[in-house]
């Protein structure tokens, strides 16, 4: 629409200039004052035409800048990812399969921790799994989970960047979403914690990374 308006304004300007030129040529040579006035009119017409044809482009540029600001603002918003977004079926059951320590190398190394947690624990992740964590250093934890249906053990998502999975894990028995967090360290100005979101792919028996987010301190929100 703006391009058509600019084209129409340009055509009008060309027509006006042709009329002025014709009037200029019909004047007698001795009519110097009239020629001066006519020259002034030509100059003013040229300036007006330039402003009319350039104005739509300026408006389009302003709209582009506004859209860019909106996009940048939405990137700074808090994540909308929730456990409900990755909901899965959960059925309460008191039956638990015997732990299959041969199914996982990590399970053999942390047999005691896994056994104690599994014995009295209840399903706390993805409908069928009991998560167990253990320390791996200062402000560092690692862990695994046992499938109550067959006793097989799986590692929690490995994270070379954090040398573990952070220092806390958040899960839900009716969701395949797992949130690992790292806090209590110098993570940067205004950053209280880092959160990583993972989804458990039941078909492939693997965790899939979704995204990482910064949790701002109160005065930075």
Give the residue among 211, 124, 141, 213 at the shortest CA–CA distance from 176.
124
Which residue's structure tokens are 């017409």? 45
Q: Which of 119, 163, 161 is nearest to 141 (CA)?
A: 163
**pLDDT one-digit tens code per residue, 138-178:** 778 999 999 999 999 999 998 778 878 999 999 999 999 99
184 three-class SS: coil
Calpha distance 100→97 (Å, rounded) = 9
Show me where the domains of the chain are located.
2-75, 83-220
- Of 59-63, 92-96, 105-109, 160-164, the range with the lowest mean pLDDT is 59-63
**pLDDT of 71 over the 80 cut:** no
Residue 104's pLDDT is what? 96
Segments in the chain forming alpha helices (H): 2-26, 32-75, 105-109, 111-120
Q: What is the DSSP letter of 105?
A: H
> In terms of pLDDT, which residue wins out, 68 or 128?
128
**pLDDT tens-digit map of 11-48:** 545 545 454 454 545 544 445 545 544 455 555 555 55
At residue 58, the pLDDT reads 40
Global confidence as pTM: 0.62
């Amino acid at each position: 629409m703006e391009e058509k308006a600019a084209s129409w304004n340009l055509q009008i300007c060309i027509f006006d200039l042709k009329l002025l030129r014709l009037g200029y040529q019909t004047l007698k040579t001795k009519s110097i004052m009239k020629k001066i006035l006519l020259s002034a009119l030509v100059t003013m017409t040229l300036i007006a035409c330039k402003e009319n044809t350039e104005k739509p482009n300026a408006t389009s540029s302003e709209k582009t800048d506004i859209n860019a600001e909106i996009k940048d603002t939405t990137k700074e918003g808090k994540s909308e990812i929730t456990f409900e977004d990755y909901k899965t079926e959960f059925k309460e059951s008191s039956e638990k399969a015997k732990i299959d320590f041969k199914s996982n190398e990590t399970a053999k190394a942390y047999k005691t921790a896994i056994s104690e947690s599994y014995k009295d624990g209840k399903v706390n992740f993805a409908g069928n799994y009991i998560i167990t964590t253990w320390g791996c250093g200062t402000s560092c934890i690692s862990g695994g989970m046992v499938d109550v249906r067959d006793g097989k053990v799986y590692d929690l998502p490995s994270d070379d960047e954090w040398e573990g999975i952070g220092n806390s894990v958040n899960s839900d028995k009716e969701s395949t979403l797992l949130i690992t967090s790292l806090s209590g360290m110098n993570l940067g100005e205004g950053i209280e914690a880092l959160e990583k979101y993972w989804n458990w792919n039941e078909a492939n028996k693997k965790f899939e990374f979704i995204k990482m987010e910064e949790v701002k301190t109160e005065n930075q929100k």
